[in-house]
């Protein structure tokens, strides 16, 4: 049976906030029940591709543990950054994307075409993410949807040039942000995670789901 689409906290959920040309923050977009359902579905799915701390092409081990769901998964190793259809640790296809995860893409982008990649990042023990652009996808005009679950994170958001001024924004559990338009190639990263600010994730920490259309654009 297909899971029901996720719903906002209430009919009076806060309207999205435009923080940058094309960067939209939907605060409290997912109510507690929806957040719990997502965590259960995602953690069950990634059992087939357990979280791992991958190495960058420069040989540094990432502080964030990650996995993937869907037809394509984002991979980093000595060979570079890329998307591929199989888990390099097992050689098997990445676990399917649960329906309630796929629904988030359609809900927050309004697109009929499905997302083909969901990167799942687990932040624990001081993990952070340096400033970066999302530019490994074949269509750089397709938006990126980011879903925060668990501990609050401090997002740093800049512009399309690494030297552009930046600002920080707190992302709480249930917040959803969309990088689109001029913000699609904005530099962004996670400065820190406020440990213990949520009890949603078993064992603590923060889960971040990043939904993308990574492969060729639909015809």
- pLDDT value of residue 17: 74
Give the other-Cβ count within 10 Å of 2's Cβ. 9
Query: Alpha carbon of 132 to those of 23, 26, 158, 207: distances in Å?
Result: 15, 22, 10, 18
- Residue 9 is predicted with a pLDDT of 40
CA–CA dist 24, 81 (Å, integer):
26
Indicate the CATH number for domain 31-212: 2.60.120.590
Q: Which residues contact 170 (CB under 8 A, 6 or more apart)?
A: 152, 153, 154, 155, 194
Low-confidence ranges of the chain (pLDDT < 70): 1-14, 18-20
pLDDT computed for residue 185 by the predictor? 96
Of 8, 49, 44, 38, nearest to 26 (Cα)? 8
Q: Which of 72, 60, 211, 81 is nearest to 135 (CA)?
A: 81
Phi, psi (degrees; rounded to nearest 5) at 98: -55, 150
Q: Residue 47 gets which letter from DSSP?
A: G
For residue 137, report the phi and psi dihedrals to the nearest 5 degrees.
-85, 155
Q: Which pTM value belongs to this model?
A: 0.91
Domain segments of the chain as ranges: 31-212
């Amino acid at each position: 049976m297909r899971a029901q689409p996720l719903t906002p906290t209430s009919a009076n959920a806060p309207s999205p906030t435009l923080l940058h040309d094309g960067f939209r923050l939907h605060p409290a977009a997912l109510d507690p029940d929806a957040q719990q359902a997502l965590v259960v579905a995602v953690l069950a799915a990634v059992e087939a591709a357990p979280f791992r701390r991958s190495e960058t092409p420069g040989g540094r081990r990432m502080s964030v543990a990650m996995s993937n769901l869907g037809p394509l998964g984002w991979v980093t190793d000595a060979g570079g950054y890329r998307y591929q259809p199989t888990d390099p640790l097992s050689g098997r296809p990445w676990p399917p994307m649960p329906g309630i995860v796929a629904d988030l893409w359609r809900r927050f982008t309004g697109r009929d075409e499905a997302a083909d990649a969901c990167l799942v990042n687990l932040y624990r023990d001081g993990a952070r993410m340096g400033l970066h652009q999302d530019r490994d996808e074949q269509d750089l005009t397709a938006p990126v949807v980011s879903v925060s679950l668990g501990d609050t994170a401090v997002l740093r958001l800049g512009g399309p040039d690494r030297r552009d001024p930046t600002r920080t924004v707190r992302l709480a559990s249930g917040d959803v942000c969309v990088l689109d338009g001029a913000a699609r190639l904005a530099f962004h990263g996670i400065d820190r995670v406020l440990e213990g600010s949520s009890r949603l994730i078993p064992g603590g920490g923060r889960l971040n789901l990043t939904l993308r259309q990574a492969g060729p654009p639909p015809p």
